[in-house]
């Protein structure tokens, strides 16, 4: 992968670098999955799998939801379901919506800048020789 070659300092641990990158994005992705309305944990996991390449150990998402709730960005409610057991639904609070907008803006400008920076790196190899 070209991105890994661009970071020789992490060269011997490319998987770890990618894992860190994913981890940093999960929080924002979890908030974003709730933009349209409330979901419960497993729905959030499936939504992230289908919408992005953020495949994670499924357990990872629950502690993150717990922390986002403690920070006041999410609220939760238990809802009885046909399945026979209640499910814990999460939704964004006003503070959560605001924070997500800020994160999204920061992310877009940051990744736009980085993409330009990485353009030469991703060019076909023959040119650079």
Please identify, using beta-carbon distances, which residue of 19 and 121 lies nearer to other proteins: 19
Please identify, using beta-carbon distances, which residue of 71 and 123 lies nearer to other proteins: 71
Residue 22 vs residues 10, 17, 82: alpha-carbon distances, Å: 15, 9, 34
Please identify, using beta-carbon distances, which residue of 14 and 41 lies nearer to other proteins: 41
**Structure letter (DSSP) for residue 84:** S
Q: Which two tokens stand for residue 77?
A: 């409610």
Span from 2-10, 13-21, 39-47, 111-119 in contact with other proteins (CB under 8 A): 39-47
Among 9, 24, 50, 70, binds other proteins (CB under 8 A): 70
What residue spans of the chain are helical by DSSP H?
2-5, 14-33, 41-51, 61-70, 94-122, 125-128
Span from 7-15, 52-60, 109-117, 121-129 in contact with other proteins (CB under 8 A): 52-60
Phi and psi of 36, rounded to 5°? Answer: -85, -15
Q: Which residues bind other proteins (CB under 8 A)?
A: 40-42, 57-60, 62-64, 66-67, 70-73, 78, 83, 85-88, 95, 99, 102
């Amino acid at each position: 992968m070209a991105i890994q070659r661009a970071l020789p300092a992490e060269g011997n641990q490319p998987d770890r670098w990618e894992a860190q990158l994913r981890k940093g994005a999960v929080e924002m992705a979890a908030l974003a999955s709730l933009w349209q309305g409330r979901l419960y944990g497993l729905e959030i996991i499936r939504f992230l799998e289908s919408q992005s390449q953020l495949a994670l150990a499924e357990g990872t998402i629950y502690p993150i939801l717990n922390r986002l709730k403690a920070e006041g960005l999410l609220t939760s409610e238990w809802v009885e379901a046909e399945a026979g057991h209640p499910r814990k639904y999460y939704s964004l609070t006003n503070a959560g919506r605001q924070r997500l907008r800020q994160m999204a803006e920061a992310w877009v400008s940051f990744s736009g800048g980085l993409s330009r920076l990485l353009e030469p790196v991703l060019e076909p190899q023959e040119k650079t020789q």
